[in-house]
Amino acid sequence: MTSVPYEQPPSREGPGRRLSRFFYRHPRLSLALLLAVPLGWLVVAYLGSLVVLLLASVWNTDPFTSEVVHTYTFDNFRRLFDEPVYRDVAWRTIKMAAFVTVADAILAFPIAYYMARVASPRTRNLLVVAVLMPLWASYLVKAYAWRTILSGAGVLNWALGPLGVSFDGYSTTGLWLVFTYLWLPFMILPVYAGLERIPPSLLEASADLGGKSLRTFFRVTLPLTFPAVVAGSIFTFSLTLGDYIAPKLITSQQFIGTVIYDNHGTNLPVAAAFTLVPIVVMVVYLLVARRLHAFEAL
């Protein structure tokens, strides 16, 4: 501030203007206030519940009433290691997530490629809507619909009938089909965005240097879209890892989600301890995805 008095009309300055000037002078305060609500939400609601979850995993339950007893024990983790069933379930779930991710990547790539490179703008818009449309329908409706499709008396077996094939729909393979269907849009959209981002000049350069279309695809397009595929796989993998409704409806097999669901009422600490498995798997997955530059493609 200079000592020269400049004409200041305090009478005409409203409180709003004064407030805005105050914040302009205190940028740190304005930043803190701006972030308080979203950060508060993130820390209290999100991290807070994770902390409770971790705490719950070392608690005990009353053997009669199944109430949580606040005495500390590592028995829940010991159970997870000693009982082979938890290992089997975790491994089965991770395998399912991996197979669903691979299937979705294979299905999504041609669709995304067509949308980004071949289709006219009009068709492209229609396709984007078509890809997004299933997300508007309730998840439960889709899962129940698949239950009907996969039934022994369902349309799938009706179609396979003349070929002399019968398909046991309520199986791991059936569930794989359902998951692949459910999460496909989550793979298509990042891959489509990734393909769109490739500058046409790179493809022209490849052609100028004598690259045939196949070679251009494998040496230029595919490596440049790979981070986008990994980005999409984060969704397909994690969504499969945590889901319990589709496994409950389609199969008799247990998955991580169904074991947690079945135990959360009567054996909360074991359920909480078991949630650490998908958390650890996802942390590792995200670290690998980061190395593959997937986060820049999100």
Partner 1 sequence: MTRQHRRVAGWAAAVLLVGALAFVAAGCGGGGGGGGGGGDTGSQASTAIDGLGTTLDEIKSKAKDEGEVDLVEWPGYADKSWSNQFTKTTGCKVVTKDGGTSDEMIDLISTGQYDGVSASGNASVRLMKRGDVAPVNTDLIPNYADVAPGLKNRDYNSMDGQPYGVPHGRGPNLLMWRSDVVKPAPNSWSAIWSPSSTVKKKISIYDDSIFIADAALYLKATKPDLKIDNPYQLNDEQFTAAVNLLKSLKPNVGEWWADYAKQIQSYANKDVVIGTTWPYQENILKGDKKPVAAVKPKEGTTGWSDTWMIYSKAAHPNCMYLWMNYIISPQANAKVAEWFGEAPSNPKACAYTTDKNFCTAMHANDEAYWKNIYYWTTPTADCGGKGGTCKTQKDWVNAWTEIRG
Task: Check residue 142 for interaction with partner 1 (CB under 8 A).
Answer: no
Three-state SS across the chain? CCCCCCCCCHHHCCHHHHHHHHHHHCHHHHHHHHHHHHHHHHHHHHHHHHHHHHHHCCCEECCCCCCEECCCCCHHHHHHHHCHHHHHHHHHHHHHHHHHHHHHHHHHHHHHHHHHHHCCHHHHHHHHHHHHHHHHCCHHHHHHHHHHHHCCCCHHHHHHHHHCCCCCCCCHHHHHHHHHHHHHHHHHHHHHHHHHHCCHHHHHHHHHCCCCHHHHHHHHHHHHHHHHHHHHHHHHHHHHHHCCHHHHHHCCCCCHHHHHHHHCCCCHHHHHHHHHHHHHHHHHHHHHHHHCCCHHHC
Instruction: Compute the least distance from the CB of residue 13 to partner 1, in Å.
Output: 28
| Nearest distance in Å: CB 62, partner 1 | 8
What's the min distance (Å) between Cβ of 261 and partner 1?
10
- For partner 1, the binding residue among 121, 200, 210, 265 (CB under 8 A) is 265
Q: Does 145 bind partner 1 (CB under 8 A)?
A: no
Residue 191, classified by CB atoms within 10 Å of its CB into exposed (0-12), middle (13-18) or buried (19+), is: buried
Residue number, 151 or 173, with CB nearest to partner 1: 151
* Interaction residues for partner 1, span 74-113 (CB under 8 A): 79, 83, 85-86, 88
Q: Give the number of residues written for the chain.
A: 298
> What is the nearest approach in angstroms of partner 1 to the Cβ of residue 94?
16
- Choose, by CB under 8 A, the member of 123, 125, 148, 213 that binds partner 1: 148
Distance (Å, whole) CA 221 – CA 117:
11
Residue number, 8 or 65, with CB nearest to partner 1: 65
Restricting to residues 18-77, which ones interact with partner 1 according to CB under 8 A? 28, 31-32, 35-36, 39-40, 43-44, 47-48, 51-52, 55, 61, 63-68, 70
Question: Is residue 264 a contact point for partner 1 (CB under 8 A)?
Answer: yes
Q: Which of 8, 120, 201, 252 binds partner 1 (CB under 8 A)?
A: 252
Contacts of 136 (CB under 8 A, 6+ apart): none
**32 or 132: whose CB is closer to partner 1?**
32
Choice from 101, 180, 254, 275 touching partner 1 (CB under 8 A): 254
Taking the least distance from each CB to partner 1, the nearer of 105 and 276 is 276
Residue 281 Cβ, how far from partner 1 at the closest point, in Å?
Answer: 19
Name which of 29 and 288 has its Cβ closer to partner 1.
29
Residues that bind partner 1 in the complex, under the rule CB under 8 A = 28, 31-32, 35-36, 39-40, 43-44, 47-48, 51-52, 55, 61, 63-68, 70, 79, 83, 85-86, 88, 147-148, 151-154, 170, 248-249, 252-254, 259, 262-267, 270
